[in-house]
Amino acid sequence: MKVLISDNLSKQGIEILEKAGLEVDARAKTTPEELLSVIGNYDALIIRSATSVTEEVLEAAKKLKIIGRPGSGLDNVDIPAATKRGVIVMNTPGGNTITTAEHTIGMLFAAARYIPQAAALLRQGQWEKKKFMGVELSGKTLGIIGIGNIGAVVANRAIGLKMNVIAYDPFISPERVKEMGIELVSLDELYKRSDFITIHTPMTKETKGLINKDTIAKMKNGVRIINCARGGIVNEQDLYEALKSGKAAAAAFDVFENEPPVNNPLITLENFIGTPHLGAQTTEAQENVATAIAEPIVGSSPLLHLLRGLGVLRGSYMRAH
Ligand code: 9EZ
């Protein structure tokens, strides 16, 4: 079984594949043209965000049985086209949970105290205090939109910071909310009561542009907004206006409508903090997702051959935890 790794994968993942006797080609920075020309030789493909698996790629991938995407987000894979050809698509959303939640907590502090802006000025020799009067997190209300795996860890850490945590999620059970020790509210109530708002939903047609001028108008004056989920859930133009007018005191984003954000006016604002999609960038998360994607690919090797031989496997989408 031949495996192509078209982007970077932590060495722990590569070792698992090699030890199992799979033939591994680690070709970081594979171009779309290269991918098209070589993909026909491989049984398995491991990608990151840089590789797009289009219908054209899948058409050329005559031997391909499985695509693994370490981490969450499968925006760059044409899942229906893969499924049509009996190719399994797998991701590992669990491996990033704590790391992404911790980045969110970091952004919460950054938005409360302007740490990145103050540090940048200090580097330039400026000792600026007046400009950076912050607020405490303790006693403030944190509104979490989307209380799945990451949202739940953010809630737990925020409770430790003595924040009052409220959440909105159309899919959560009341029992689970009770276990977490937080209050489930409507979206309108969340907007009305929150001092800080953080988003932890996937990008869907319901969440695209969820935070916009109309919903911002429902928020408290001086609200601080965090987005470490997906670019575009917050309308960037509308947020720009809110940060400019002071309606929103600060915003801290790890994700953008276009990444990297070129000519994006948001990043010029003093009360905006941006990081370059660092949500999953820890040693621990990268090891977690690399091993979590390698293990089922190894396990799949004999099983996939058998199932395809029997005509059972028609393609599907699964999660490897
Ligand atoms: C939808 C959502 C949040 C939401 C939350 C989760 C999949 N999903 N979608 C509409 N977990 C706010 C408005």
Of 230, 236, 108, the residue nearest 160 (C-alpha): 108
**Site residues for ligand 1, CB cut-off 6 Å:** 145-146, 148, 169-171, 201-202, 204, 206-207, 210
Atom of ligand 1 nearest to the CA of 202: 7
Of 277, 285, 280, the residue nearest 12 (C-alpha): 285
Question: Would you give the distance in Å from CA 93 to the centre of its chain?
Answer: 9
DSSP bridge partners of 44: 3, 66
Give the Å distance between the CA of 147 and the centre of ligand 1.
Answer: 9
Q: How confident is the model at residue 308 (pLDDT cuts 50, 70, 90)?
A: low
Give the Å distance between the CA of 37 and the centre of ligand 1.
Answer: 39
The mean pLDDT value of the chain amounts to: 93
Where in the chain do CATH 3.40.50.720 domains reside? 2-95+283-319, 97-274
Region 78-82 average pLDDT: 96
Atom 13, ligand 1: residue with shortest CA distance: 207
Share of the chain above pLDDT 70, in %: 93
Q: What are phi and psi of 53, to 5 degrees?
A: -100, 95
CB neighbour list of residue 8: distance below 8 Å, 6 or more residues apart: 28, 48
Q: What is the pTM of this model?
A: 0.90
pLDDT tens for 174-197 read 889 989 999 999 999 999 999 999
Give the Å distance between the CA of 235 and the centre of ligand 1.
Answer: 16
Q: How confident is the model at residue 315 (pLDDT cuts 50, 70, 90)?
A: very low
Is domain 2-95+283-319 classified as CATH 3.30.365.10?
no
Mutation to probe ligand 1, out of 97, 145, 211 (largest number of atoms < 8 A from CB): 145
Mutation to probe ligand 1, out of 206, 211, 218 (largest number of atoms < 8 A from CB): 206
Of 123, 135, 142, 139, the residue nearest 196 (C-alpha): 142
Three-class SS state of 5: strand
Give the Å distance between the CA of 274 and the centre of ligand 1.
Answer: 23
Q: Report pLDDT for 311.
A: 54
For 21, which DSSP code?
T
Q: Are 91 and 73 in contact (CB under 8 A)?
A: yes
Mutation to probe ligand 1, out of 194, 204, 211 (largest number of atoms < 8 A from CB): 204
Does 268 have pLDDT greater than 70?
yes
Q: Are 187 and 166 in contact (CB under 8 A)?
A: no
pLDDT tens for 87-115 read 999 999 899 999 999 999 999 999 999 99
Question: Would you give the distance in Å from CA 185 to the centre of its chain?
Answer: 24
Question: Would you give the distance in Å from CA 36 to the centre of its chain?
Answer: 27
Does 314 have pLDDT greater than 50?
no
Q: Report pLDDT for 95.
A: 93
For 170, which DSSP code?
T
Give the Å distance between the CA of 181 and the centre of ligand 1.
Answer: 20
List the structure tokens of 242.
Answer: 């809110």
Atom of ligand 1 nearest to the CA of 169: 5
The Cα 56–Cα 33 span in angstroms is: 11
Q: Report pLDDT for 93.
A: 86
| Superfamily per CATH, domain 97-274 | NAD(P)-binding Rossmann-like Domain (3.40.50.720)
Q: CA angle 98-51-95, nearest 5°?
A: 15
Catalytic (active-site) positions: 230, 259, 277
Q: For residue 255, which amino acid is it?
A: V
Q: Report pLDDT for 90.
A: 95
Q: Report pLDDT for 317.
A: 53
pLDDT tens for 117-160 read 999 999 999 999 999 999 999 999 999 999 999 999 999 999 99
Region 31-59 average pLDDT: 95
Please report the sign of the dihedral spanned by the C-alpha atoms of residue 234, residue 239, residue 240, residue 241.
Answer: positive
Secondary structure tally for the chain: helices H, strands E? 12, 13
Q: How confident is the model at residue 300 (pLDDT cuts 50, 70, 90)?
A: confident
